[in-house]
């Protein structure tokens, strides 16, 4: 019999499950989809197949068990069920690996116990990831299941980059340090950048800007991450769709004392009601662009705060790396917003970064250069593919 070559990638969030089936031999993606609004009165499952497009089911999904059961049924309907002999592994995205997990990990009972111990570090994310793993293991107890961590790629940061200047005893007792997130994306994109430049990853220094709803920057030296913008949690760093990113930590004491807000209220304020949405009531960059074109001052300010923060990080990471070969934009905003790329990378000739205005506005699905031929630093747009990265890391582990 041929070796199984397919990996099912599962990304279980608090109220959604995204999934994708990838064939590692052919690169095909025979199916994928998303279950949304799990636990709510109205739920939806959108299942995609390459041939006939989409099947949409609207009904409530009580919990992750119900949601993953429905996903398994959809896959079975096309002969791609969890019992299919072609399935080699299930690869799970797990947000926080703490300091315990710094590489793709074969999931055992012991690993699950350790993941549960890490929940206090990522209370918003890890519980859903764990539930997804538990349900998938019940559905296919004999199949290898692999956890791929958002934090793992950043584990190579030197201590002077990951350590906060906080009393060491307290920090170490509570795991207070910078971990970084979006690691699979930063890893995938930095490697694709090297391919785009036709050089081995070890020979390329990259700054990667992952700009989705969440956003983070990383500095990658020769394929190894040396700095990133997110910290203990995904709140630190860049301005995001709904998160503030960097601020003076005293803002929290001030709001607690002067506004009488509870810690939970401040948590919600900074994670869900700040960033672009806090500044202009809108977190979709497309809509912000439309409003700017109509002369909306709030949208303009939100855009300027967002891109100013990004420019500061680019400058800082040029200094961290010393020599930069490529500045890469990825994820929803990075791949699609020429205006953001222009505001971040325009006028940086002094740093050797020259954007080509014509190339910058061309659209495309493939990795591409948007810098001028004379630019010392290449500027690239590289569509991210976290599912593929999770699948390939999982497959590599179970076939090694
Ligand atoms: P996530 O995976 O973090 O939810 P994505 O990487 O899919 O996010 O990015 C989503 C964001 O991308 C949207 O909120 C929107 O701001 C932005 N976006 C998507 N398409 C465009 C576009 N054509 N122009 C500008 N921004 C876009």
| Two domains, one topology: 6-149 and 199-386 | yes
CATH architecture for segment(s) 6-149: 2-Layer Sandwich (3.30)
**Of ligand 1's atoms, which has the minimum distance to the CA of residue 210?**
6
User: pLDDT tens across 165-217, in order?
Assistant: 999 999 999 999 999 999 999 999 999 999 999 999 999 999 999 999 999 99
User: pLDDT tens across 213-236, in order?
Assistant: 999 999 999 999 999 999 999 999
For ligand 1, the distance from its centroid to the CA atom of residue 82, given in whole angstroms, is 31
What pTM was computed for the model? 0.96
User: pLDDT tens across 56-76, in order?
Assistant: 999 999 999 999 999 999 999
Does residue 332 line the site of ligand 1, with CB under 6 A? yes
Q: What is the mean pLDDT of residues 47-60?
A: 88
CA dihedral angle for residue 32, residue 36, residue 38, residue 40, rounded to 10 degrees: -160
What is the number of residues in the chain? Answer: 400
Does residue 384 line the site of ligand 1, with CB under 6 A? no
**Of ligand 1's atoms, which has the minimum distance to the CA of residue 276?**
16
| Domain boundaries, given as residue ranges, for the chain | 6-149, 199-386
Does residue 23 line the site of ligand 1, with CB under 6 A? no
What integer pLDDT is reported at residue 50 of this predicted model? 75
**Least confident span in 43-52, 130-139, 329-338:** 43-52
CATH topology for 199-386 is Nucleotidyltransferase; domain 5 (3.30.420)
Give the confidence band of 356 by pLDDT, cuts at 50, 70, 90: very high
CA distances from 194 to 104, 163, 364 (A): 22, 29, 19
Q: Residue 388 and residue 400: Cα distance in Å, rounded? A: 18
What integer pLDDT is reported at residue 176 of this predicted model? 97
Q: Residue 146 and residue 341: Cα distance in Å, rounded? A: 35
Under DSSP, the state recorded for 64 is: H
For ligand 1, the distance from its centroid to the CA atom of residue 60, given in whole angstroms, is 27
Q: Residue 29 and residue 5: Cα distance in Å, rounded? A: 12
Q: Find out whether 237 and 216 touch, Cβ atoms under 8 Å.
A: yes
Give the confidence band of 17 by pLDDT, cuts at 50, 70, 90: very high
Sheet holding 368-369, edge to edge: 224-228, 215-221, 205-211, 326-330, 378-381, 368-369
Closest CA to 208 of 180, 246, 247: 180
Q: Is 55 exposed, middle or buried (0-12, 13-18, 19+ CB in 10 A)?
A: middle
Closest CA to 209 of 232, 231, 240, 235: 240
Phi first, then psi: what are they for 55, rounded to 5°?
Answer: -120, 130
Does residue 212 line the site of ligand 1, with CB under 6 A? yes
Mutate to test the pocket of ligand 1, among 34, 285, 334, 343 (most ligand atoms within 8 A of CB): 285
Q: Residue 16 and residue 3: Cα distance in Å, rounded? A: 31
In the structure encoding, which two tokens stand for residue 291, read together? 């409003």
Is residue 149 over pLDDT 80?
Answer: yes
Is residue 51 over pLDDT 80?
Answer: no
Phi first, then psi: what are they for 150, rounded to 5°?
Answer: -65, -25
Does residue 34 line the site of ligand 1, with CB under 6 A? no
Does residue 287 line the site of ligand 1, with CB under 6 A? no
Q: Residue 29 and residue 22: Cα distance in Å, rounded? A: 5
What integer pLDDT is reported at residue 210 of this predicted model? 98
For ligand 1, the distance from its centroid to the CA atom of residue 130, given in whole angstroms, is 27
What integer pLDDT is reported at residue 49 of this predicted model? 87
For ligand 1, the distance from its centroid to the CA atom of residue 376, given in whole angstroms, is 29
Q: What is the 3-state secondary structure (H, E, C) of 322-388?
A: CCCCEEEEEHHHHHHCHHHHHHHHCCEHHHCECECHHHHHCCCCCCEECECCCCCEEEEECCCCHHH
Q: Which residues contact 321 (CB under 8 A, 6 or more apart)?
A: 205, 207, 219, 221, 226
Q: Residue 224 and residue 293: Cα distance in Å, rounded? A: 40
Is residue 341 over pLDDT 80?
Answer: yes
Q: Ligand 1: which residue has its CA nearest to atom 2?
A: 212
Catalytic residue numbers, as ranges:
150
Phi first, then psi: what are they for 11, rounded to 5°?
Answer: -120, 95
For ligand 1, the distance from its centroid to the CA atom of residue 331, given in whole angstroms, is 7
Q: Residue 9 and residue 385: Cα distance in Å, rounded? A: 12
Is residue 342 over pLDDT 90?
Answer: yes
What integer pLDDT is reported at residue 1 of this predicted model? 53
In the structure encoding, which two tokens stand for residue 300, read together? 């303009």
What integer pLDDT is reported at residue 317 of this predicted model? 98
What integer pLDDT is reported at residue 122 of this predicted model? 87
Does residue 98 line the site of ligand 1, with CB under 6 A? no
**Of ligand 1's atoms, which has the minimum distance to the CA of residue 213?**
3
């Amino acid at each position: 019999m041929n070796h199984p070559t397919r990996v099912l990638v599962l990304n279980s969030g608090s109220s959604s499950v995204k999934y994708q089936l990838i064939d590692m031999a052919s690169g095909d993606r025979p199916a994928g989809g998303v279950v949304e609004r799990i636990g709510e009165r109205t739920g939806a499952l959108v299942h995609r197949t390459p041939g006939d497009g989409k099947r949409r089911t609207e009904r409530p999904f009580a919990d992750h068990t119900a949601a993953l059961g429905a996903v398994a049924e959809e896959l079975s309907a096309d002969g791609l069920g969890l019992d299919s002999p072609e399935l080699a592994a299930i690869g799970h995205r797990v947000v926080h690996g703490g300091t315990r997990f710094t590489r793709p990990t074969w999931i055992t009972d012991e690993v699950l116990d350790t993941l549960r111990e890490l929940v206090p570090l990522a209370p918003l994310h890890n519980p859903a990831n764990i539930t997804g793993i538990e349900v998938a293991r019940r559905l296919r107890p004999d199949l290898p299941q692999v956890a791929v961590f958002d934090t793992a790629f950043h584990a190579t940061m030197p201590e002077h980059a990951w350590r906060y200047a906080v009393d060491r005893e307290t920090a170490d007792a509570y795991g207070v340090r910078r971990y970084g997130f979006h690691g699979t994306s930063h890893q995938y994109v930095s490697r694709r950048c090297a391919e785009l430049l036709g050089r081995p990853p070890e020979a390329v220094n990259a700054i990667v800007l992952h700009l989705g709803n969440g956003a983070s920057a990383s500095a990658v030296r020769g394929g190894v991450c040396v700095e990133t913008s997110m910290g203990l949690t995904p709140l630190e760093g860049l301005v995001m769709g709904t998160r503030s990113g960097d601020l003076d930590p005293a803002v929290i004491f001030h709001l607690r004392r002067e506004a009488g807000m509870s810690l939970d209220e401040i948590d919600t304020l900074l994670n869900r009601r700040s960033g672009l949405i806090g500044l202009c009531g809108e977190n979709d960059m497309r809509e912000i662009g439309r409003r700017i074109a109509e002369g909306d001052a709030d949208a303009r300010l939100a855009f300027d705060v967002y891109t100013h923060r990004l420019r500061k990080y680019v400058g800082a990471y040029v200094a961290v790396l010393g020599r930069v070969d490529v500045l890469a934009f990825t994820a929803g905003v990075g791949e699609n917003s020429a205006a953001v790329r222009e505001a971040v990378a325009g006028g940086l000739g002094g740093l050797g970064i020259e954007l080509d205005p014509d190339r910058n506005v061309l659209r495309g699905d493939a990795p591409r250069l948007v810098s001028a031929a004379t630019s010392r630093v290449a500027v690239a747009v590289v569509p991210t593919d976290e599912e593929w990265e999770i699948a390939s890391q999982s497959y590599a582990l179970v076939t090694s």
